Structure 1
Amino acid sequence: MKSSGETRFDAVDVIRAKRDGQELADAQIDWVIDAYTRGGVADEQMAALAMAILLNGMSRREISRWTDAMVRSGTRMDWTAAGRPTTDKHSTGGVGDKITLPLAPTVAACGAAVPQLSGRGLGHTGGTLDKLESIPGWRASLSAEEMQAVVRDAGAVVCAATENLAPADKKLYALRDVTGTVEAIPLIASSIMSKKIAEGTGALVLDVKVGSGAFMKDTESARELARTMVDLGSDAGVRTVALLTNMQTPLGLTVGNALEVRESVEVLAGGGPEDVVELTVTLAREMLAAAGIDGKDPAEALRDGSAMDVWRAMVTAQGGAVDAPLPRARETHTVLSPADGVLSRLDAYGVGVAAWRLGAGRARKEDTVQAGAGVEIHVKPGAVVAGGEPLLTLHTDEPERFDRALDALDGAFTIAPVGSRPDLLPLVIDRVA
């Protein structure tokens, strides 16, 4: 990045330029990101610029340069010592989205190195690190040297990003959250891609969720975000492809940290829900193709136990007691079907909020989560149900949480007459490359 002795700009001039619909020059972008990271541009000035970007957008060149400047605000990792091609996946977040857990070891079992730097949950969407921390002893925070060692020995690592990875993004992300600028696609795309490019992976597959439980509610906006991120990856020399996937209904049969780990282990053991297996295998094939690896099929890695072997090695290397019992909530409450019929709808957002209110999620980054809390799903949309049959089981350590969780589920599912055909989206809606 530029040092303080090089060309300076006036923050107000940069804000005015974008406010008036002008394109920012590369030098302006470099300066404003560097100055903001170092404290030379005030939060209120960057907030004004972020709002101008939200309202007026950015060209591909501007977004690419903005992303590159955020990458250069910190260090870029290098995985050449792993001795094999690197590939990674990023999901924009959903309900019951535990795919990283079976996916990373499956792809590693097929010959790739998978450095997966992940985050925590906020609101109704779960976080990969929260899920894995329900395993006794498992550590999310590793030094750069420890990350390298786990990838070298196990083939994959799932951990928290180090502090010097795209520090400009950490600062801007927090600002966007409190200034109504989270929805700006140039800022969403550059936030995600700056971290992934700095991570140093050679290939990247993006899982862009669409639907009520996702950040992007409609296919058009999801496709725009996917296209922007794929272009950013290509501009940075990272082979990138995106899949648009369905988040109208929760993924799998569990929502909540230990519940989702348990389900992920079932998938690694060759079982698990069909949609989780399908998406794991589909994304794994995309990751391997992007990395240029044409060998073992991911479905075979799940069947023959090699993916499970990587999982056990990866968890153990990070201090996890891989065979220890997972936490279970002390209290449960079952939601029954109110009538005979077909479950035509199970709203991902409603289930996600219920799990959050049961203790599986957090409202603020500093909040703690209950490892055993969440929602167990007994019936998926399209299934015939009888009145009084269990639909969902709610799990929590604090029974006083049940009422608010049940409020979130009010209207979150529909029982249609027998013979009805629910209009269900496919699991994979589109591919952007």
Structure 2
Amino acid sequence: MAHYHQDDIPVIDVSRRFAWIVFALTFGLLISDYMSRQVLNAVFPLLKAEWQLSDTQLGSLSGIVALMVGLLTVPLSILADRWGRVKSLTLMALLWSFATLLCGLSDNFGQMFAARFFVGIGEAAYGSVGIALVLSVFPPSLRATLASAFMAGGMFGSVLGMALGGVIAAQLGWRWAFVGMALFGLVLAAIYPFVVCAKRVAPQAQAIRQQRPSLRGLINNRSVLSAYVGSGLQLFVAATLMAWMPSFMNRYYGMGTDQAGLIAGLFVLLMGVGTVLCGMLSDRLCRERAQHKITLAIAYCLLCCLLFSVGFRLQPGMMQLLLLGFGMFLVAGTNGPAGAMVANLTHTAIHGTAFATLTLANNFFGMAPGPFVTGILADWLGLSQALALIPLMSLIAAGVFFYAKRHYQRDAASVRELYNKEVDSSSDSVVSV
């Protein structure tokens, strides 16, 4: 049975133990998702040398995955909400894992591009459907923490994908790097539906789905629109750094593929840890004043812009690495506040689609164009100069979040009023389920 927590928001009633099992396995598949996505970055230098690729082509191999995620996340998330989240998540994992295996079998740029295309299709709705499933079994007071922790799975997966991928590629060749990532995903996908039993989630979720607000609730206030756009613009910077950090270490620090992958993986690990801690800080400091989470998001953006703009203009050395490390710690800190904003400003019954819309914005404004645009700039200016320009996008993101802050209280009040009206009108039917 669905029951209600703060702000009259329905949450699926399951045991705490089962809720954390759902989180752990869904989080594990998210790690697999990003291992399959980011292992490519670790082998950029090898592909560039073997196939004589330009930086623009390398950027397109990374960007096509994010582009497909952006294009398909909303329609596939809607289908997943209707067909069943557990079954959908399992099918997605199987698809991206098989496509990653095909990457390892590719003989040229065209074949690799096609395989990466299918990786993108498989990963398209996983983040939005996965976080919606996780949030449905936890209380709203943990939203920023859970959203940031879940999204940090992408960073941890990127760490493993780049670090392990670089080591495997150096020892066995780049093809085996893709094979290793694919096998990990296939094993988890086989386990997932048997442990996260759909029968324990679907009946309770049906009670929540009986409330069917208009999808206009996804975009009908200025604050939630700003959350989508601001999050995407900040991830323009984060995605660029995840994609190009191994190449930066290879070109400017003279590291081999394995060492460059490990060092870049440590930077992305900092990003993941920072994402979780920034989300926890948001929940702890802003329990009473949710709009203060937006203030923290603005601060994260401004500090990132300063640290990266200065850091990439320094000569290679310890001072540059320190500044880049501090910047990586903060660069994805907006994930938690942005996720909490989307959850607070949209109806629970459309949270899957709401997070799909957030994923769409993250990919269209950030993860798809970031690595590709940087590749174009790198061909013109050099990689270091291109990376020094990218943090300017954080200034724009800060401005968008500032706009959201001005309208947040009014928009949040209107959403709470909608909740109260619908709870009054549908409480009898929810109780009877």
Same fold at TM > 0.5: no
**Structure with the bigger percentage of strand:** 1
- Of structures 1 and 2, the one with the larger relative CO (CA 8 A, separation 6+) is 2
Q: TM-score of the superposition, structure 2-length normalised?
A: 0.25
Instruction: Flag the structure with larger Rg.
Output: 1
